[in-house]
Every structure is written in structure tokens, then in C-alpha cells.
Structure 1
Amino acid sequence: MTNITHDELARAVADAERAAALAGATVREMRGKDEEAEVGELLARIWGRTAENPVVPREFLRVLGKTGNYIGGAFLDGKLVGASLGVHSSPERLTLHSHIAGVLPETVGKSIGYALKLHQRAWSLERGIDVVEWTFDPLVSRNANFNIRKLGAFPLEYLENFYGAMADTINAGDLSDRLLVRWDLRDPQVAALAGGATPGPAPEGDVTVLLPDDIESLRVSDPAEAKRWRRAIRDELTGLFNDGAKVVGFERGVGYILQNASTEEKKTDED
């Protein structure tokens, strides 16, 4: 098990509690069949699913809870408005895979998702887990900004059509390409951001990959153009990743900032 110090853990818990307080929310672990079912119903509402076609089946939520996986909930005025699920990876990796997280549309922008992530961070560290990974749609600029700049997580891999066809109101009709990101919970930058530090200026890189301003609206107004963006970003990012480039930052209006493998090797030699 990772040797996480008492001070590290205490700071992580305090950071999570502060984030929840600033959001005006209560964030806690969800336990038992009734609360797990409530999480399933909330996720179905967020993703536009029905009880007959849930995002996460009630039976699987029961298994997650019984086997000690992460089920977190965020409340505003006693009402469940956000939730997150994470599953343990293989034992030797000491990694949690955060499968899904979401908040009700009317609460977007209130930092509830951020409070959920910091709760998940503290929960993981309490269990000796120092890495959390998850996937997100590489075309959604606000998610890229949140994951990379606000949390300090970085993409590892481009996953083409990862889930296959998805029958929900957010993803229907589009390919489910995803970026897999890694969140090193004990990294000094991650700890500083969790403690309230303002993200610094975007680093310099060798290549930038521009994103559409609002792919979610574009999918509705011009589906064909949205699909062109999907193919273009897939081709550009997979090509760069195959050449050894790494994402080192993100900036709204600029996009992903990548460093070529040759630049990374040069920096390593200089160090």
C-alpha cells in the first residue's frame, strides 16, 4: 500500500470539505440499496435515460457498493444533484477508475463537480490509492479545461469509439471517442490546485490542437459539422500520440497544448 502520510490525508480531507462548503453542497459516500438506487435514478435523469434503460443498472450499483467501490453523492438543500462512481483497478496498480460523474443541468457552473472530485480524491487517499483515471470526450472544451487546468489530470491515451454506440441524449448519434486521463493525487501541482491555488499560465508547447467552442450545441445545430470535428480531432491527436507527443496543458481558445517527444528528450538530457 502507498505510504500516504497523516498530514497529506488531513489536507486532502480539508480541501474536499472546503470545496463542498464553497459550492454550498454536502458531499458524502452513498451507502445501501436505497441511496444507490437514488444515484442510479439521478444519473438516468442527467443522461436522459429511462428507468428501463439506465446508465448504470441498479443491480450493478448494489455490487459496486457491496464490494467497496466509490459511490459519491452531492446534495444541495438536502436534494441529490450530483454523483460519481469509481471502480478499483487491478490490485497491483493502486488505481481507481472513475467511471461516471455528473450533475443536474441546473447546477452546472456551481463547482459541485469539483467538490465531488476532491471528495473522490480524499476517499482514494484514505484507502492507499494515489492515482485516479477516467475518460472524457476530447471535443468538450469545458471538460478538457476542468480536467487539465483545474484538477491537474493529464491525457494518456486516445480511445477510438470506446463505448461503441450510446443511446442517451448527450452522446446519441456520435462516435464515443474518449481521452483517458491520469490524476496523480499526490503530485505537488495536483495538491496545490486542490488546496485552492489558481492555475498558472498555460505552458509553452510544440503543437496546439484547437477545439470547437461548443461541440454540444454544434451537434444539435449542425450534426455534419460536428462529425467532421470528431474525425479531424481524432486524426490529429492519434497521430501526435503515435509520434510520442504528450499533452502538457490546455487553454480555452487555444486548445490542447502538446510537446513533441524530441522536446521531452531534450529537456530530460538538460536536467
Structure 2
Amino acid sequence: MTAWTDADKAAAGAGITIRTLDDIASLEDVRRLYERIWRTGATNPPVTADLLRAMAKAGSYVSGAYDGDELVGACFGFFSAPARDALHSHIAGVAPRMAGRHVGLALKLHQRAWTLDQGAGAITWTYDPLIRRNSWFNLGKLAADVTEYLPDFYGPMDDDINRADPTDRVLVRWSLDAPAVVAACAGTPRAVDVEQLRADGAVVALEVSAAGGPILRPAYGRTVLVGVPVDVEGLREQDPALAATWREALREVLGGLLAGGARVREFDRSGWYVVERKEAQ
């Protein structure tokens, strides 16, 4: 099955059409959509139409997902060094009303097929490692690999999603022809049995307490489990101090493990990063 077959199937399943964009009217629609998703207001958009226009003209990727004639999702990225080795996907967003329609998956599969057509073999992007659903989407449904923990990567962001929280991110690399990625794009996510890992001796370094806060534990051994809260975005609205505590805890535990040479092997949709050290410690 080709990458375009997977992409077309995903778009059909979501009931949308996806196309690349380069005209200024469509790019203005992208700007307005991003403003609504991130609730930034017109004076502080995540990206401007003129920048998107320049990127499209220079051969970068800009796409839109349409439900009928309505733009409901968009994604853009640019090539990274060495020249055209990989595409860096900077922003992808979907209108809230499309939740559950798998528009985000369809956009990523379209981006994968387009990138392969350009002769590049990978796509990179960043995401907030505290957001459980995004972690499962990126590491499970897409089978991307975490390569780096980036503390406060973007600095302060003035929008209603980040809410002045430090912008810690992880960088992921999506190796487009890797067997796990090919399987994921065909509908078989990269999954893991956390309970079996525990039975086999995996240790918990960070978990959610009964009150919803982080519990840090000493982590020894080869396989380490790092938990994240169910809904950190809700916490940012309801209990900003607790959300900030989670940010610090994950930076210390997951960031520390990755800085020490460990790698994220999988993410379980119940909220666990599975981290593997090079050697037992």
C-alpha cells in the first residue's frame, strides 16, 4: 500500500478533502483558523498569511483540510538541514467542532505522502509532552520517535492554550518508511502492555497521585515508566499552580532521563511514557 493510498483512505474516513495551498485567500483562511484554535486574537496570530505565502512559494508544505467548502484543519512545515533531508512540521491544527473525526491523522498522512514525493525520508515536529492525547497520537498512532527534551523551547506564548505555562516540548522524528510507521499509517498503532512491563520489573519514576498531583520516585533499572496527568489543559484553567508543578516534575524526570542518554520506547494511551536506559542504573 502506498503512502498516498493511506492518506486518501484517512481523508475519506474523516469525510474531508485535503489539498496543498498557495493562494493568498486560502492562506488568510488558515491564519483565521489558527487564531480561533489558539484563541490568540487578530493582533497575535500563530502565523501570518504573507509568511505562509512565502513558504509555499519556496517549496515548503502548506495544506488545508476541508469539510465541504469549510476549512477545518491546516498544517504547514519547512525543510530542515541538511537540505531537504527532512521536513519540519511547525503547526498543525483542527477546528474544535471536528473532534473525533480523525482530521489530524488525515493531515499527517497527507503530509507524509507529500514529503516522500519530495524525496525526504523524515518529518520532525515538537509537541507538549504533558498532553496525554497528543503523546498517544504522536508516539502511538503515528509511531514517531522522541529525540530530545526542550525546556521552555518557544519562550512565553500569549494564547489561551498555553496560558503562560513554560513551553517545554519534545522533538520527535517520524521516519516515514520505518516498519512501525508503515504499520501505524495502515491502521496498526504502536502499542505497549504497561501491566506486563510492570510484571517484568519496570519501575515507576513519576505517577499521578489520588489528588491529581505528581509523585516522583527513585528510578532504577533498565525500563522506567513516566506518567502524565489525564488533562493538563483543564488543569491550566482550573488549577494553574498544580499544572506548573506537573511541568516541573516532567522536566525533571523525563527531561533528566533523556539528557542522561535514555530513550522513549513507546507511549501507552493510559498515560505512561515507556523509557529505556542504555544500561541498568
Output the CA distance in 2 between the equivalents of 1:255 and 1:126.
34
On the 8 A contact 1:28/1:74 being kept in 2, the answer is yes
Indicate whether 1:140 and 2:157 are aligned. Answer: no
Give the superposition deviation at 1:92: 4.1
Output the CA distance in 2 between the equivalents of 1:120 and 1:134.
12
TM-score normalized with structure 1 length: 0.90
Indicate whether 1:228 and 2:245 are aligned. Answer: yes
Find 2:279's aligned residue among 238, 245, 262. Answer: 262
Find 2:7's aligned residue among 16, 21, 40. Answer: 16
Give the alignment of 1:65-76 within 5 angstroms: 65-76=56-67
Give the superposition deviation at 1:198: 4.6
Give 5+ residue unaligned stretches, structure 2.
203-222
Output the CA distance in 1 between the equivalents of 2:122 and 2:147.
13
Q: Give the 4+ runs in structure 1 shifted more than 6 A.
A: none
1:152 aligns with: 143
Amino acid at match of 1:18: K
Question: Which secondary structure does the structure 2 equivalent of 1:125 belong to?
Answer: helix
Indicate whether 1:124 and 2:123 are aligned. Answer: no
Output the CA distance in 2 between the equivalents of 1:28 and 1:202.
37
CA deviations over 1:93-146 (Å, ceiling 9, x no partner)? 611000000101111221000000000000000000111000000100000000
CA deviations over 1:66-113 (Å, ceiling 9, x no partner)? 111000111112210000010111244611000000101111221000
Amino acid at match of 1:101: A
Indicate whether 1:90 and 2:75 are aligned. Answer: no
Question: Which secondary structure does the structure 1 equivalent of 2:66 belong to?
Answer: strand
Indicate whether 1:207 and 2:252 are aligned. Answer: no
Higher mean C-alpha deviation, range 48-57 or range 154-163? 48-57
Output the CA distance in 1 between the equivalents of 2:271 and 2:89.
27
Output the CA distance in 1 between the equivalents of 2:36 and 2:236.
20
Give the alignment of 1:3-42 within 5 angstroms: 11-42=2-33
1:239 aligns with: 256
Output the CA distance in 2 between the equivalents of 1:163 and 1:118.
26
Give the superposition deviation at 1:241: 1.0
Give 5+ residue unaligned stretches, structure 1.
1-9, 264-271
Indicate whether 1:248 and 2:265 are aligned. Answer: yes
Q: Give the percent of matched residue pairs that are identical in Structure 1 and Structure 2.
A: 45
Find 2:183's aligned residue among 178, 187, 192. Answer: 192
Output the CA distance in 2 between the equivalents of 1:29 and 1:210.
37
Output the CA distance in 1 between the equivalents of 2:187 and 2:114.
18
Indicate whether 1:163 and 2:154 are aligned. Answer: yes
Higher mean C-alpha deviation, range 231-240 or range 113-122? 231-240
Output the CA distance in 2 between the equivalents of 1:168 and 1:215.
16
Structure having the larger proportion of residues in helix:
1
Amino acid at match of 1:208: L
TM-score normalized with structure 2 length: 0.87
Report how many aligned residue pairs link the two structures. Answer: 254
Give the alignment of 1:47-66 within 5 angstroms: 47-66=38-57
